[in-house]
Amino acid sequence: MKARTLGDELTVSALGLGCMGMSSAYGPAADADEMVKLIRTAHDQGVTLFDTAEAYGPFVNETLLGDALAPIRDKVVIATKFGFDIDLETGERRGGTNSRPEHIKAVVDASLKRLRTERIDLLYQHRVDPDVPIEDVAGAVQQLIAQGKVAHFGLSEAGVHTIRRAHAVQKVTAVQSEYSLFWREPERELLPVLEELTIGFMPFSPLGAGFLTGKIDENTRFDPSDFRNTVPRFTPEARRANAALVTAIKRIAARKGATPAQIALAWLLAQKPWIVPIPGTTKQHRLEENLGAIELELTPGDLVEIDAEVSTLEVHGDRLPASAMKMVGH
């Protein structure tokens, strides 16, 4: 397994494993025992970075990951997140964000128990809290780092000004946001700032929430509990309009003897050496397919061709519901 460095000191596998979909968001939770096997198989195949959050479930995903990684804890990097207003006793979502320093510290203590560990390797603020100065958030995490409960600080879906302000208080090791051939907005402002500050980037939804695999079309029906039912980009009309993007990726994949998913992931890996995508899956064969992207070499000519094919296509539909977009990029 090839390795990459987030920030200037956190070394991880070139691809991580996003674990959210094992417990929430994409329909009913998968079988826990099967997911434990999948997580351990991922590690056997070289994956060392595993991404979760208290909000996934809530709490269920952290517990799953803690159980799966307990025998190999010191061989992996665990990333989790705080930042939503969730009752730590009941798991009730009270709506909105909560990054008050005392809440952050309570969340971390609860996460450590669920993850069955004494430290969180990478702790993200899940969403920026408009009611709490980011300097206070960074200061709280700095205290947790000094106590040994946290090793590295990260931000998720933060804007560049927030990143700079946080980084001035406590070094930000990684930023997480959506980035793929389906959503290239980070190229405008975010990536240049991350490069300037030596901050790593972990793109979530690197396969466009499954769309870039080529397995979803306008006739696909999602489970009623699947979040994609609420996403403008996944209406049948938007899927029909966006099919041209997948068709272009499929043409390139056929020429390279690869799958569309592998092209999409290899493209991300080729953008910067400090980018570590975190595709999620609940299926063994998809895990193996995704990991195959690491050895797929895209030449400069391939990258020019992909850009020429994709950059002329307009993506239809917002990437998140309007309510979720309000929490992005502060």
* Spatial separation of the C-alpha atoms in residues 285 and 221, rounded to whole Å: 22
Which residues pair with residue 79 across a beta bridge? 51, 122
The structure tokens 């997948």 sit at: 246
- What is the token pair recorded at 242? 């966006």
Active-site choice (26, 56, 124, 179): 56
- DSSP assigned state of 321: -
User: Strands 120-125 and 77-82, how do they pair?
Assistant: parallel
Contacts for 169 with CB less than 8 Å, ≥ 6 apart = 134, 135, 138, 139, 142
Residue 26 annotated to the active site: no
User: Strands 84-86 and 77-82, how do they pair?
Assistant: unpaired
* Spatial separation of the C-alpha atoms in residues 233 and 257, rounded to whole Å: 29
What's the gap between Cα 295 and its chain centre?
21
* Spatial separation of the C-alpha atoms in residues 113 and 104, rounded to whole Å: 15
Number of Cβ atoms within 10 Å of the Cβ of 83: 26
Closest CA to 320 of 240, 238, 262, 264: 238
User: Strands 17-18 and 10-13, how do they pair?
Assistant: unpaired
**DSSP collapsed to 3 states, 150-182:** EEEEEEECCCHHHHHHHHHHCCEEEEEEECECC
Contacts for 147 with CB less than 8 Å, ≥ 6 apart = none
* Spatial separation of the C-alpha atoms in residues 237 and 218, rounded to whole Å: 7
* Spatial separation of the C-alpha atoms in residues 154 and 184, rounded to whole Å: 21
Hey, which residues are catalytic here?
56
